[in-house]
Amino acid sequence: MELNADFTKRVALHAADLPWRPSPMTGVERRMLDRIGDEVARATSIVRYAPGSHFSPHTHTGGEEFIVIEGVFQDEHGDFPAGSYIRNPPTSRHTPGSAAGCTIMVKLWQFDPADRTHIRIDMNKIGSIPAADRAGVTVTPLFKDAREDVRLERWEAGTAVTLDRAGGAELFVLEGAFVEAGETFARHDWLRLPDGVPVTVEAGPEGATVWVKSGHLRYAAAPDSN
């Protein structure tokens, strides 16, 4: 399967317009955002676990990165409430599920193959710092290496926000809304911008809290199925 697999193209998806599709595991559904591959895939998805559902134990050969956006995600490493940011690097193993149900935004097979850094952050409990040269913006750094920069940004109401698109960028709205190219992005909407010149967006009347990942699209490739 290939879905939004041309990383030189802008892609804008609104969660309310996307169907829930069943996964191989009963009680687990997903809204696909981009994908290269079938069940072993370089993929970005919104995944919903029904109460009591879980996946079988498995190893993430290509790594897994996700945000818990509703409910509580659980595995052998703990209980992770909404607002948790997790990176399970290549070779990591777990049995994901949720007793009460949860929804996550997850990215698979998008790591440096040599990365072995585990990250588990409760974004509700860490502060933010003012962004240099961007008034009305505060930033919570989540992860950064030579390939990518991942952070949580909070934009004050009505703020014009300049985004660096070098290497491409993805934006996932956690709260509030913003406008880009005349299009409004609200809670759980997703925007992928290709490599290019900086772009300016405008936060909505209630401001916006946005998960931002940048620089990484220059490394986009299909997973090794072996």
pLDDT on residue 226: 40
Confidence category of residue 11, pLDDT binned at 50, 70, 90: very high
Query: pTM for the whole thing?
Result: 0.94
Q: Which residues pair with 75 in a beta bridge?
A: 78
Give mean pLDDT, residues 56-71. 92
Taking domain 2-122, whether its CATH number is 2.60.120.10 is answered by yes
Query: Among positive and negative, which fits the CA dihedral 143, 137, 174, 184?
Result: negative
Give mean pLDDT, residues 92-105. 95
Question: Is pLDDT at 82 greater than 50 in this prediction?
Answer: yes
Alpha carbon distance 161, 163 (integer Å)? 6
Place domain 129-218 in its CATH homologous superfamily.
Jelly Rolls (2.60.120.10)
Give mean pLDDT, residues 66-93. 95
Residue-range domain boundaries for the chain: 2-122, 129-218
Q: Which CB contacts under 8 angstroms, 24+ apart, belong to 35-41?
A: 35/1, 35/2, 35/3, 35/4, 35/5, 36/1, 36/2, 36/3, 36/5, 36/222, 36/223, 37/1, 37/109, 37/222, 37/223, 37/225, 38/1, 40/109, 40/223, 40/225, 41/1, 41/108, 41/109, 41/223
Question: Is pLDDT at 132 greater than 90 in this prediction?
Answer: no
Chain-wide mean pLDDT for the chain?
94
Confidence category of residue 224, pLDDT binned at 50, 70, 90: low
Q: Which of 70-74, 147-151, 168-172, 217-221 has the lowest mean pLDDT?
A: 217-221
pLDDT in tens, 145-192: 999 999 999 999 999 999 999 999 999 999 999 999 999 999 999 999
pLDDT on residue 31: 98
Domains 2-122 and 129-218 alike in fold? yes
Give mean pLDDT, residues 84-112. 95
Q: Is residue 167 within 8 Å of 215, Cβ to Cβ?
A: yes
Question: Is pLDDT at 79 greater than 90 in this prediction?
Answer: yes
Question: Is pLDDT at 81 greater than 50 in this prediction?
Answer: yes
Cβ neighbours, 10 Å, residue 122 = 13
